[in-house]
Amino acid sequence: MATSSRWRQRLLGSLSGQLQLATYLAVFLGFSGASIAGLWLTQRNQLVSGDADLRASARSLETCLLAERLLEIPAGETGAARARRQQAIRQELRWHSTNRHTLWIEQPNGELLLPADGHLPVDSVVAEVASGSGDQPGVTRRFSVDGMDYIAILNRVYPSGQKVWSSAEVTRINQAQSAFLNWMIVIWGGCLVLSLAVVNRLVRRIIRPLRQLSEASSALTADTLNSSALQIEGAPLEVTQLANTYNDLRARLAKSWSDQRRFVSAVSHELRTPLTIVQGYLHRTLKRGDNLTDGQRKGLSTAEEESLRMRHLLDDLLDLSRSDSGQLRLNSEAVEMAMAVREAVDLARSSLEREVELQLPAQLDASGMLVALADPDRLRQVLLDLIENAHKYSPDGTPVTVRLAQAEAMAVVEVVDQGIGIPPEDLPKVFDRFHRAANATVSSGSGLGLSIVQLLVEAMGGTVGVTSQLGQGSTFSVRLPLSNDGVGARSSAASE
């Protein structure tokens, strides 16, 4: 049942399958109808031709017999005269019979006048005719005798009771028809297979542009809008028009996306400077405002926190804008990972009301060197964003753990929480912009944090991934390539 359902879906569930099925049925019915009609007409014409020959021979015989008055039985005919008349009739029968046709006359008393030196086994044929039911003039009878095929016709019944019969052996004709039928089947099958192959090729050619359009649409991203024009040659007019419409739509989307990126970049640049000034004034006011009341100080602190949050959001938008336009620049240098991770953990501990644990392997503590290629400031930003994300989705009283390790030629930093976890269906989209998991209960934040993390890590030549279990927590892993200098330093430290 499953196989049948798959085939039904393949044939009827796609445009290609429907076109092929409809064309196959049309070709099959057309070939079948033409072949059957051709065979029927050929057989009918042969039978009609054979019947016409028999009737023509019979008419010619009757004309001669009537002209010579051989069918008339004179009154008081003597035996010798009767024998001469019958011999003359037999001679006429012989002259009007051919290699394929035989004629004879049945007398009222059942006596048969057969042609002299007949070409057919008349006795067997006559016996078969006599065994038939009814004698209807003009009706063709078909039968077989000793493996041979024959037809017989009662041409006329005279008032005197005499009957004129004609028969023909049609074995060769039937054999020829059988051979013709076999050849027709072979030719029909060959033409059908050839037609189906041609139809299949034509349908694939018609469908190919649609598949190209589908593949181009599925591969379309914001980064490929300007370079994903669909070029189709030799396609039907309707498909070409559809491709042109797709290219026009892609061009409009590319323009809109470009305008949006320029707008975001311009707004972020314009807002960042005055927001920095506001945040600076708020900070100085809090530091020097000895005469501020507790309410005023709390309000100013809230305003400073919000200005910092808005500045962080603007920085994220600027990073995304620079990345989309290919202008994001990072300073890649050798970074001692243990020190960088300690600094990030210390900053997180000072700003978060949560325990942040740091785990370093024993060999790193002994050598003190694990050097990776990264941008120090951006690496700190990545680690702080991951720790803040773990804090946001973890219950109170549970720690966030930061682990540093080495895996082959990569430095690995893991941020582990014991939070709510991420549903499996959301894992592939966790680094998408503005994406939130279905079980996320925290509504604060821009939804850009993890996408910025992935952007910065990949810009530093590394990768970021996540594993998670619902109700048990998540682990975010940052992998950065090791620096050759770091490898040499660790080797030297180990040898000492």
Q: Strand 400-407 vs strand 356-359: parallel, antiparallel, or unpaired?
A: parallel
Quick check: is 103 in a domain? Answer: yes
373 and 300 share one domain: no
Q: Find the angle CA(63)-CA(68)-CA(70) to the nearest 5 degrees.
A: 95
Nearest by Cα to 223 from 318, 327, 324: 324
143 and 250 share one domain: no
Residue 260 has pLDDT above 80, yes or no: no
> How high is the mean pLDDT of the chain?
77
Rounded to an integer, what distance in angstroms lies between the CA atom of residue 100 and that of residue 94?
Answer: 12
Q: 221-241: per-residue pLDDT in tens?
A: 766 777 777 777 766 777 778
Residue 73 has pLDDT above 90, yes or no: no
82 and 64 share one domain: yes
Handedness of CA 257, 259, 264, 265 (dihedral sign): positive
Residue 493 has pLDDT above 50, yes or no: no
CB atoms within 10 A of CB 91: 13
Quick check: is 276 in a domain? Answer: yes
Residue 476 has pLDDT above 90, yes or no: yes
317 and 350 share one domain: no
Quick check: is 135 in a domain? Answer: yes
End-of-domain residue from the set 291, 324, 357: 324
Residue 341 has pLDDT above 60, yes or no: yes
Q: 134-164: per-residue pLDDT in tens?
A: 567 777 777 777 777 777 888 888 877 788 8
CATH of the domain at 92: 3.30.450
> Residues with Cβ < 8 Å from 99, sequence gap 6 or more?
119
End-of-domain residue from the set 269, 291, 324: 324
The tokens describing 172, both together, are 């060769």
167 and 31 share one domain: yes
Nearest by Cα to 306 from 295, 294, 314, 317: 314
Q: 265-295: per-residue pLDDT in tens?
A: 666 666 666 777 777 777 778 777 777 787 8
Nearest by Cα to 170 from 72, 54, 336: 54
447 and 361 share one domain: yes
CATH of the domain at 270: 1.10.287.130
Quick check: is 198 in a domain? Answer: no
* DSSP 8-state code for residue 440: -
Quick check: is 204 in a domain? Answer: no
Nearest by Cα to 490 from 403, 364, 405, 406: 364
162 and 277 share one domain: no
What is the arithmetic mean of pLDDT over 58-79? 78
What's the pLDDT at 465? 93
342 and 317 share one domain: no
Residue 56 has pLDDT above 70, yes or no: yes
Q: Which domain holds residue 76?
A: 10-178
Task: With beta carbons less than 8 A apart as the criterion, state whether 275 and 314 touch.
Answer: yes
End-of-domain residue from the set 154, 178, 202: 178
Quick check: is 190 in a domain? Answer: no
Task: With beta carbons less than 8 A apart as the criterion, state whether 58 and 104 touch.
Answer: no
451 CB-contact burial (10 Å; exposed 0-12 / middle 13-18 / buried 19+): buried
Q: Percent helix, strand, coil in the chain (nearest 5)?
A: 60, 15, 25
What's the pLDDT at 489? 39
Task: With beta carbons less than 8 A apart as the criterion, state whether 275 and 311 touch.
Answer: yes
Rounded to an integer, what distance in angstroms lies between the CA atom of residue 57 and that of residue 166?
Answer: 8
78 and 96 share one domain: yes
What's the pLDDT at 132? 58
282 and 339 share one domain: no
Number of domains in the chain: 3
Quick check: is 183 in a domain? Answer: no
CA distances from 112 to 108, 146, 164, 209 (A): 9, 21, 10, 80
Nearest by Cα to 219 from 246, 239, 256: 246
What's the pLDDT at 40? 76
Quick check: is 188 in a domain? Answer: no
What's the pLDDT at 485? 57
372 and 265 share one domain: no
CATH of the domain at 404: 3.30.565.10
Strand partners, 463: 479
314 and 387 share one domain: no
